Structure 1
Amino acid sequence: MRAPLLLLVLLAACGRPAPEAPEPVAAPSFRDPAIPIASSLRAGAADLAGEWVVARAYPGGPLPLAAGTPLSLRMAEGGALLWSAGGRTLRTEEVARGRFRAGGTELWLLWTDDDGRTAVIGSPDGRAGWIMDRAGRASSDRARAAREMLDFNGFDLARLP
Structure 2
Amino acid sequence: MKRLLAVILLAGCTAPLDPVAPIAFRNPTAQVASQADVTLERLAGEWRIVSIFDDAQFGAVRQVRFDGPNMALNQQLLPVTRNAQGRLTAGGQQFWVHWLDINNRTAVIGSPDGRFGWIMDRNGTPSPDRLKAAREILEWYGYDLSRMKDV
Q: TM-score, normalised by structure 2?
A: 0.78
Percent of pairs identical after alignment? 40
| 2:88 corresponds to 1:100 | yes
In the alignment, what sits opposite 2:136?
Answer: 148
For 2:101, the equivalent position in structure 1 comes to 113
In the alignment, which residue of structure 2 is the partner of 1:38?
Answer: 33
Instruction: Give the conservation status (yes or no) of the 8 Å contact 1:42–1:98.
Output: yes
How many Å apart are 1:90 and its aligned residue? 3.0
Number of residue pairs aligned between Structure 1 and Structure 2? 133
> The residue matched to 2:79 in structure 1 has which SS?
strand
Q: Note the residue ranges of structure 2 that are not aligned, 5 or more in a row.
A: 1-17
Q: Which residue in 1 is equivalent to 2:4?
A: none
Q: Where do 1:2-151 residues align within 5 Å?
A: 25-60=20-55, 62-65=57-60, 69-76=62-69, 82-102=70-90, 104-151=92-139
Q: Which amino acid aligns with 1:70?
A: Q
> Relative contact order (C-alpha < 8 Å, sep 6+): which is higher?
2
Q: Which amino acid in the other structure matches residue 54 of structure 1?
A: I
For the aligned residue pairs, the C-alpha RMSD in angstroms reads 2.1
Letter in 1 for 2:84: A
What CA deviation, in whole Å up to 9, does each residue of 1:77-130 have, x standing for no partner?
Answer: xxxxx2223342333311012101236521101011110100000100101100
**CA 1:51–1:103: 2 relative to 1, 3 Å:** closer
Distance 1:62 1:92, change over 3 A: farther
Higher CA-based Rg: 1
Gaps of 5+ in 1: 1-22, 77-81
Flag the 1:50–1:124 CA change in 2: closer, same or farther, 3 A: same
Shift of 1:151: 0.4
Following TM superposition, the consecutive aligned residue runs of length 4 or more in structure 1 with deviations greater than 3 angstroms are 61-66
* Closer/same/farther in 2, CA of residues 117 and 149 from structure 1, 3 Å limit: same
- Give the CA deviation at 1:24: 7.5
Instruction: Provide TM-score, normalisation by structure 1.
Output: 0.74
